[in-house]
């Protein structure tokens, strides 16, 4: 009878230990599952954070690119406006060059020793000089300048050769006379100078 009780007691203890082990295993499994879920959640959060960082980087790059494009467009527009302002009068200025040529020819046509011979001629000459000076002031205001080319070397970009002459004293290709004045408008050629150059020489 006593043995029977002991057996019963031992069986109960064994069942209790089994339940305890099962409970521990369940707890362990639950803990593992929770850890896995937490790890997955952390991984997902890390992935989302990394994705957000990449998207933020791309947006920043897109913004910088768009900003750079806008700045380039702005600079090009500014340059184009400045260019148009500088050269807008080129066509009109070319038409005025013939006026400048005629005024210059009129001034050069009267010898120095004859300028004071006639009061009427003197007054006329004074008027021509004043008109020419005013025209040169207008030219200067808009960046129109006469080329200074005498005794310089011939440059096909600025000069048009009309005649060549022998001159042993000067290097070949030296501009020795100007038949028509050349003009620049800012840094561009408005009209080439028609010139006489030397050939042969040094």
- Residues 148 and 177 occupy one common structural domain: yes
The two three-digit tokens of residue 181, written as one number:
């004045």
HSE-CB for 156 with a 13 A CA cutoff: 0
Range of the domain at 124: 89-142
pLDDT score of 11: 47
- Residues 70 and 137 occupy one common structural domain: no
Q: Identify the H or E element spanning 49.
A: helix 2-87
- Residues 9 and 80 occupy one common structural domain: yes
- Residues 1 and 80 occupy one common structural domain: yes
pLDDT score of 9: 47
- Of 88, 122, 154, which residue constitutes the final position of a domain? 88
pLDDT score of 122: 78
- Residues 73 and 40 occupy one common structural domain: yes
- Of 44, 65, 88, which residue constitutes the final position of a domain? 88
- Residues 65 and 19 occupy one common structural domain: yes
Q: Which residues pair with 176 in a beta bridge?
A: none
CA distances (Å), origin 57, targets 45, 66, 81, 113: 18, 14, 36, 83
- Residues 129 and 160 occupy one common structural domain: no
pLDDT score of 168: 82
- Of 72, 88, 104, which residue constitutes the final position of a domain? 88
- Residues 148 and 108 occupy one common structural domain: no
* Alpha carbons 161 and 177: distance in angstroms, whole number: 10
Rg over alpha carbons for the chain, rounded to the nearest Å, is 49
- Residues 38 and 16 occupy one common structural domain: yes
Instruction: Report yes or no: 97 and 135 within 8 Å, Cβ to Cβ.
Output: no
Measured in whole angstroms, the distance separating CA 117 from the mean position of its chain's CA atoms is 60
For the chain, what percentages of helix, strand and coil (3-state, to nearest 5) are there? 65, 15, 20
* Alpha carbons 100 and 191: distance in angstroms, whole number: 13
CA distances (Å), origin 21, targets 13, 26, 28, 31, 33: 12, 8, 10, 15, 18
- Residues 97 and 117 occupy one common structural domain: yes
Q: What are the φ and ψ backbone dihedral angles of 184, each rounded to 5 degrees?
A: -115, 150
Q: How many domains does the chain have?
A: 3
pLDDT score of 197: 94
- Residues 117 and 161 occupy one common structural domain: no
Q: What is the pLDDT along the chain (202 residues), one digit of tens a residue?
A: 444 444 444 444 554 455 555 555 555 666 666 666 665 556 666 667 777 778 888 888 888 888 888 888 888 877 777 777 666 778 788 888 989 999 888 888 777 776 666 777 778 888 888 999 999 999 998 889 999 999 999 999 999 999 999 888 888 899 999 999 999 998 889 999 999 999 865 5
Query: Tell me, what CATH number does 175's domain have?
Result: 2.30.22.10
- Residues 135 and 57 occupy one common structural domain: no
């Amino acid at each position: 009878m006593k043995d029977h009780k002991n057996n019963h007691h031992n069986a109960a203890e064994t069942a209790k230990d089994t339940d305890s082990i099962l409970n521990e295993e369940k707890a362990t499994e639950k803990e593992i599952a929770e850890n896995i879920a937490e790890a997955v959640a952390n991984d997902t959060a890390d992935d989302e954070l990394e994705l957000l960082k990449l998207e933020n980087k791309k947006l920043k790059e897109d913004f910088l690119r768009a900003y750079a494009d806008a700045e380039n467009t702005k600079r090009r527009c500014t340059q184009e406006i400045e260019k148009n302002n500088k050269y807008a009068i080129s066509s009109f200025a070319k038409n005025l060059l013939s006026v400048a040529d005629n005024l210059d020819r009129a001034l050069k046509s009267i010898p120095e020793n004859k300028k004071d011979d006639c009061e009427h001629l003197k007054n006329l000459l004074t008027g021509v000089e004043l008109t020419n000076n005013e025209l040169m002031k207008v030219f200067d205001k808009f960046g129109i300048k006469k080329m200074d080319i005498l005794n310089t070397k011939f440059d096909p970009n600025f000069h048009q050769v009309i005649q060549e002459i022998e001159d042993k004293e000067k290097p070949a290709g030296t501009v020795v006379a100007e038949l028509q004045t050349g003009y620049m408008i800012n840094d561009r050629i408005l009209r080439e100078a028609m010139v006489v150059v030397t050939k042969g020489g040094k």
